[in-house]
Structure formats: C-alpha cells, structure tokens
Structure 1
Amino acid sequence: MNPMDTLIWLVNFPVSHGYAMVFIAGFSILGLFAMSARGTAPGGRLRSIREREGLLAPGARPQGEILRRLVRIVFRVLAFVMLGSLVLGILGLTGVPVTRSYIYENGRPTTATIDGDWVTFTTAEGVEYTLENNFFTPSVHPGGYTSIPSTGNVVVRYLPSHPQAYVIDGSQQPR
C-alpha cells in the first residue's frame, strides 16, 4: 500500500465534502479549543477554590492532573484536525484541486454511470462502488466544474489502493 495514496485518500474526504466540513468544523472548533484550555477539565475550578480557601492540605498532590492534561492534549489535537478540515473544505468549495490532480495522474481509469449525485463504477478487482458526487464540490478534473451529464456513462479515475478516492475524467466527457 502506497503511503501517498493513503494520505490523499484521507485528505480527499474533507475536500470532497467541503460544504459539510465548513459547517462541522466551523461550529466545533471553538468548543474544541475551549475544552483544550487550562482549567476547563472537570474539577479544575473546584480545586482552585479549595486552594484559595485553604481547604487543601499543604503539598497535597492534585488528583487526576495527568488525566486532565491528557484530555486537554486530545482536545487540542482534535481542534487542529478540525482547523485543517476547515481549510481543506474551503479549498474544495473554491475549486482548488487539492487532491484531484494527484488522483487524476495516478488513478486507474474505468467506465462509470452517473445517476443524479451518485457515481457507480467497478474496479479492476471486480468490486462495485457507489459513491457520492457532491453538488458543491464535484469530483471533476481537469476543468473543475466541467459540465457532466446527470445520468449516463462517464470515465472515472480511482486510486487502486483506495477506490473511494476518485475523480471524473473531465477530458473524456461528451462536450
């Protein structure tokens, strides 16, 4: 399995679902960054009040401090992943071929049928895939927003190790 194909396959999800990723990431980033801030873990505020009032024994080790740090790190990592997804979603919405160029150059061509927003094709191994071709971020390359029929046959290129990452070949479509 090619590591670059795997990376493109992972990055292709937020790019090909740009509209949804902008809203999901946009609404979740603030909450994730807030949860990753110091003092937001459960019990942190209560401990600071107890320290201020002198209710804790001097030199008492904070219980669960390692868990609170781990929770903050996890939420911080998730926040940065969502920030990256937001950027990739915006690039997908604006038509920047973040992953489509790589898939077009390294993909295996095959014939597919389009039925509305769904593309159905069979890989060389004989496995049939029915995948979404999102209206807001269509998977067409080259030409980004080349007009493709809403029903009928088209040529797609897919990554052999990850067929879920595909593009519709805009150079071989009926004009």
Structure 2
Amino acid sequence: MNIPDTLIWLLNFPAAHGYAMVFIAGFSLFGLFALSASGATPGSALRRVREREGLLRPEHAKRGRWGGRLVRIVFRVLTVVMLANLVIGILSLTGVPVTRAYIYEHGQPTTGTRDGDWITFSTASGVEYTVESNFFTPAVYPDRDAYLSGDQVVVRYLPSHPQAYVIDSSQGPR
C-alpha cells in the first residue's frame, strides 16, 4: 500500500459524495466553530465565576484548564477537516476532478456493468465490488459530461483501494 493511493482514497469519499458533503459540512461547521471557542467547554462559565470570587482552590485551577484546552484543540482539528471536506465537495460539484485524474492515470482498467447509479466490477484478484456512481458527482473521467450508453463500462480503479474508481469515458468496454 502506498501513501499517495491512500491519500487519494481518503479524499475520494468527499469528492464522490459532493452534494451530501456540502450539506453535512456546511451545517456542522457552525457547531464546530462554536465548540472550538474558548468559552464553549462544559463548566467554563462556572469556573470563571469561581476564579473571580476566589472560591477555586489553587490545585484545581490548572486541572480544568488542560481539559478545556484539549477539547478546543480536538474541535479545531475537526473544524479544519470539515472545512476541507466542504471545499472538496464544492469543487467536485462544480466539475473539478479532485481525485479523478490521479485515479485515471494510476488506475488499473477492467470492464464493469452499470445498473442505474451502481457500478459492479471485479478486480484482478477476483473480488467483486458494487459501488455508487452519484448523480451529482459522477465518477466519469476525462469527459465528465459523457453520455454512457449500455450496461458495459470500462472502470479504472486503484489496485490497493478499489473503492476509488472512475468510469473511463474515453473508451468503450473491451
């Protein structure tokens, strides 16, 4: 397993599900931004009141701050990941081949069958995969708007991650 194929495989999920990813990331970013703010950790308002009134013991003062910082760091990392997924989803919806060009260049070709929005193909090792080709972000490359007629299609997939695939629009089935 090589690292570029794994990264493309990870990036391919938000690219292949662009419509859903835009809505999921768009709405979840509001909550993640709020949770990554300094006053969002549970008990932080009560802690500030206790510190102001002098009711917080010195040995308890540092313990709560580290937990709050850790929570904010985790939510800030999640915010960055969701923001990246939002950008990938928007690019995929507008027709930018975020991962498709890499999969096309480095993928192994095979013949598959198309049944509505589902593509079924077998890898060189004999494992059969049935994966979705989303209507809003079709897995077609190099011509994204190509009309696919018939049930047979040529599929290029990454050998180490067959879920990352494209339908080759430049050639028909072999």
Map of 2:107 onto structure 1: 107
Would you say how many aligned residue pairs link Structure 1 and Structure 2?
173
TM normalised by structure 2 equals 0.94
Map of 1:37 onto structure 2: 37
CA deviations over 1:84-103 (Å, ceiling 9, x no partner)? 00000000000101110000
CA RMSD of aligned residues (A): 1.5
CA deviations over 1:9-56 (Å, ceiling 9, x no partner)? 000110010000000000001110110110110111001112223323
Map of 2:169 onto structure 1: 170
**Runs of 4+ with deviation above 4 angstroms:** 57-60
- What is the DSSP-based 3-state SS (H/G/I as helix, E as strand, rest coil) of the residue aligned with 2:77? helix
CA distance in 2, matches of 1:119, 1:72: 41
Structure 1 gap segments, 5+ residues each: none
CA contact (8 A) 1:35 1:41 kept: yes
Q: CA deviation at 1:67?
A: 1.6
Q: Tell me: CA distance 1:111–1:59, structure 2 relative to 1, closer, same or farther (3 Å).
A: closer
CA contact (8 A) 1:109 1:155 kept: yes
TM normalised by structure 1 equals 0.94
CA contact (8 A) 1:148 1:173 kept: no
Structure 2 gap segments, 5+ residues each: none
Q: Judge which range, 60-69 or 113-122, deviates more.
A: 60-69
Q: CA deviation at 1:144?
A: 1.2
Of all paired residues, the percent bearing the same amino acid is 68
Q: CA deviation at 1:58?
A: 6.1
